[in-house]
Amino acid sequence: MPVRIGFYICHCGINIAHKVRVQEVADFVRGLKNVVVSRDYKFMCSDPGQEMIETDIRTHDLNRVVVASCSPRLHEKTFQDACRRAGLNPYLFQMASVREQVSWVTADEDEATAKAKTLAAGAINRVNFHQMLETRTVDVHPDVMVVGGGIAGMQAALDIGNAGLTVYLVERQTTVGGHMLQFDKTFPTLDCAACIGTPKMVEVAQNPNIRLLTYSEVSEVSGYVGNYNVTVTRHPRYIKEGVCTGCGECAKVCPVALPSEWDEGLSRRKAIFRAFPQAVPITYTIDKKDRAPCTTTCPAGINVQATSNSSARVNTVKRLP
């Protein structure tokens, strides 16, 4: 069946028409291959604008439609629905953005008109190749993964969790909080960062819909939108979450002191540590760089410390559904 295209350029009141000579664009498009109808109209998204498309589809046997107006994000569905109502498959529609991408961002009228013609011609060329598509419904896995437990990730996890979905919140540090928890006061209101951040940290840990995976990183993602398989590598803390009370007695006797990452090296922490007092989870972590010095230097290679067995360094991998 020969391609028969209907083209419509919108004035958007004066939003487009004050910079783009819309009638000139419509005249230009009328001369392009397979274009049967080419019009300009004040408000294409209005009822009369949509009815114009529907009437043209029926009376001119149009099998493709192009609208040059705002952005597809705003009105693509509006015009696809108009096509559908007139019996045309909605995927035989194409939109060109001559407002956001042209009239709002181009100072010169000649330049804006030329740009609108180019975008319109591109859309006309493209729509020639469109094929009818059918939408279908597929099952999606409703769980959500949020990567990064800073203030943004925590709030996202809380919003989604409170909406009733299961959220996996993956944070590579030993605690959630992110940069904000490193500050004392925040510009411009001089709010106390910890006063805003710590209640969210606690809420995240206590929300029954949030599975908090700290000291963890995404190591593999496969699948597709709605059905991802994600592998998360959980770095070993060597201390059990839920068992450690966070009393800190261990850190008092630990002889190894290292620069504190959380304090940007301005203070020191022990090899068994918690990033900062309000860290969530409260669980301490042993920062094992390698085996204990006594074991690495032993000429007989004897593992004098049971806890420093290097096999314990093997990461545990949690496969998420």
C-alpha 89/C-alpha 172 separation (Å) is: 47
Residue list 123-142, contact with ligand FAD (CB under 6 A): none
3-state helix, strand and coil shares in percent for the chain, rounded to the nearest 5: 35, 20, 45
44 interacts with ligand SF4 by CB under 6 A:
yes
- Nearest distance from C-beta of residue 233 to ligand FAD, angstroms: 10
Looking at the Cβ atoms of 42 and 234, the one nearer to ligand FAD is 234
Locate 308 and state its tokens.
Answer: 């420093």
- Quick one: what does residue 246 bind among ligand SF4, ligand FAD, none, with the CB cut-off 5 to 8 Å set by partner type? ligand SF4
Residue list 266-305, contact with ligand SF4 (CB under 6 A): 284
- Quick one: what does residue 91 bind among ligand FAD, ligand SF4, none, with the CB cut-off 5 to 8 Å set by partner type? none
* Residue of the chain from 23, 162, 227, 245 that contacts ligand SF4 (CB under 6 A): 245
**Cβ neighbourhood burial of 279 (10 Å; 0-12, 13-18, 19+):** buried
Residue list 215-234, contact with ligand FAD (CB under 6 A): 217-218
Contacts of 65 (CB under 8 A, 6+ apart): 5, 6, 7, 8, 53, 57, 79, 83, 88, 92, 93, 94, 127
Chain centroid to Cα 302, Å, comes to 50
- Dihedral, 218, 223, 226, 228 alpha carbons, nearest 10: -30
213 interacts with ligand FAD by CB under 6 A:
no
Residue list 153-192, contact with ligand FAD (CB under 6 A): 153, 170-173, 178-180, 183, 186-187
- Quick one: what does residue 173 bind among ligand SF4, ligand FAD, none, with the CB cut-off 5 to 8 Å set by partner type? ligand FAD
- Quick one: what does residue 286 bind among ligand SF4, ligand FAD, none, with the CB cut-off 5 to 8 Å set by partner type? none
- Dihedral, 208, 209, 215, 219 alpha carbons, nearest 10: 150
- Nearest distance from C-beta of residue 26 to ligand SF4, angstroms: 14
CB 75 within 8 A of CB 117: no
C-alpha 275/C-alpha 199 separation (Å) is: 17
Binding site for ligand SF4 (CB under 6 A): 10, 12, 15-16, 43-45, 69-70, 74-75, 99, 239, 244-250, 284
Binding interface with ligand FAD (CB under 6 A): 147-153, 170-173, 178-180, 183, 186-187, 217-218
